[in-house]
């Protein structure tokens, strides 16, 4: 296979490409961050090592670039970003606020938690937004994503690879989860992120802080929280009622329709992310 037709880890026949062609999965990324915050060590590692507070939008951009490279990059591009992320994690440590113990953030238990919450959130969001997937396709998605877990250093044999295994994993993890101060601060930050000082004048920033853009984002964040499993919402002090799930389904479907309408109004060259467009071109599907 040459560089010109190298489709990377997945390709057009994968369920992964089917799921991630839906822009709504970005909302799944936000949902996964709320879930990740319920793991005391995971959220401590993020709080003590990440620049998300000082540079939230820059961190979002870097994370998006990494995910898109794993999804659509060539084999060489994927190997390069994976090597970089493993080196970065290998030199980071954090302190458990409950015990004072120092731990490495590339511990398999933490990497696995981050991986599972991400892929489960992507898939759950796409399905609840209306993407039609069979049970077999759901299992194939999880199995395909084991390759992404390997990139960060996980043993594939330890990574849940079907819907049943993911459900069992969450059930086993519940006793280790809970709301800490880091969890609460992270959840608040995700719900009400600051407007960067670089975004224009003070008047513009005030408008973004108090205006319709802020309320639109708050609605998106509220939808992400409402889509959490009932047990996770209860840990955040919310309600696990079925009516919350119903309202979340209606909201995420509405957001998906709005995104589709917005994309349809754009020039064609802006409707598909650049890395996906390049991957489609390599696959002869531009």
Q: Lowest mean pLDDT of 17-21, 196-200, 279-283, name the range.
A: 196-200
Which pLDDT score is estimated for 199?
Answer: 47
Q: What percent of the chain has pLDDT over 70?
A: 91
| pLDDT tens digits for range 177-192 | 999 999 999 999 999 8
Contact 102, 94 (CB under 8 A): yes
Average pLDDT over residues 267-284: 89
Average pLDDT over residues 117-135: 97
Full 3-state SS string of the chain? CCHHHCCCCCCCCCHHHHHHCCCCHHHHHHHHHHHHCCCHHHHHHHHHHCCCCCCHHHHHHHHHHHHHHHHHCCHHHHHHHHHHHHHHHHCCEEECCCCCCEEECCCHHHHHHHHHHHHHHHHHHHHHCCCCCCHHHHHHHHHHHHHHHHHCCCCHHHCCCCHHHHHHHHHHHHHHCCCCHHHHHHHHHHHCCCCCCCCCCHHHHHHHHHCHHHHHHHHHHHHHHHCCCHHHHHHCCCCCCHHHHHHHHHHHHHHHHHHHHHHHCCCHHHCCCHHHHHHHHHCCCC
Average pLDDT, the chain: 89
pTM for the model: 0.90
Q: Is the pLDDT of residue 195 over 80?
A: no
Domain segments of the chain as ranges: 3-278
Q: Is the pLDDT of residue 232 over 80?
A: yes
Which pLDDT score is estimated for 97?
Answer: 86
| pLDDT tens digits for range 213-225 | 667 888 899 999 9
Of 249 and 266, more confident: 249
| pLDDT tens digits for range 82-108 | 999 999 999 999 999 889 999 999 999
């Amino acid at each position: 296979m040459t560089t010109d037709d190298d489709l990377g880890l997945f390709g057009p026949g994968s369920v992964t490409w089917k799921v991630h062609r839906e822009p709504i999965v970005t909302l799944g990324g936000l949902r996964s961050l709320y879930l990740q915050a319920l793991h005391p060590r995971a959220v401590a590692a993020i709080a003590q090592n990440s620049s998300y507070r000082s540079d939230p939008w820059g961190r979002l951009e870097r994370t998006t670039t990494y995910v898109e490279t794993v999804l659509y990059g060539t084999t060489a591009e994927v190997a390069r970003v994976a090597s970089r992320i493993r080196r970065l994690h290998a030199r980071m440590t954090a302190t458990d606020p409950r015990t004072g113990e120092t731990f490495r953030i590339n511990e398999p238990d933490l990497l696995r938690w981050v991986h599972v919450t991400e892929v489960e959130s992507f898939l759950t969001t796409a399905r609840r937004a209306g993407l039609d997937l069979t049970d077999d396709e759901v299992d194939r998605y999880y199995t395909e994503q084991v390759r992404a877990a390997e990139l960060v250093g996980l043993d594939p044999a330890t990574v849940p690879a079907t819907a049943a295994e993911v459900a069992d994993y969450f059930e086993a993890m519940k006793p280790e989860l809970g709301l800490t101060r880091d969890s609460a601060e992270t959840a608040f930050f995700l719900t009400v992120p600051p407007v960067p000082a670089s975004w224009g004048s003070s008047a513009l920033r005030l408008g973004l802080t108090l205006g319709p853009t802020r309320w639109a984002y708050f609605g998106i964040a509220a939808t992400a929280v409402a889509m959490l499993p009932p047990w996770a919402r209860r840990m955040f002090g919310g309600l696990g009622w079925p009516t919350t799930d119903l309202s979340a389904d209606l909201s995420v479907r509405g957001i998906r329709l709005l995104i589709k309408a917005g994309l349809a109004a754009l020039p064609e060259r802006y409707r598909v992310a650049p890395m996906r467009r390049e991957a489609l071109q390599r696959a002869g599907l531009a």
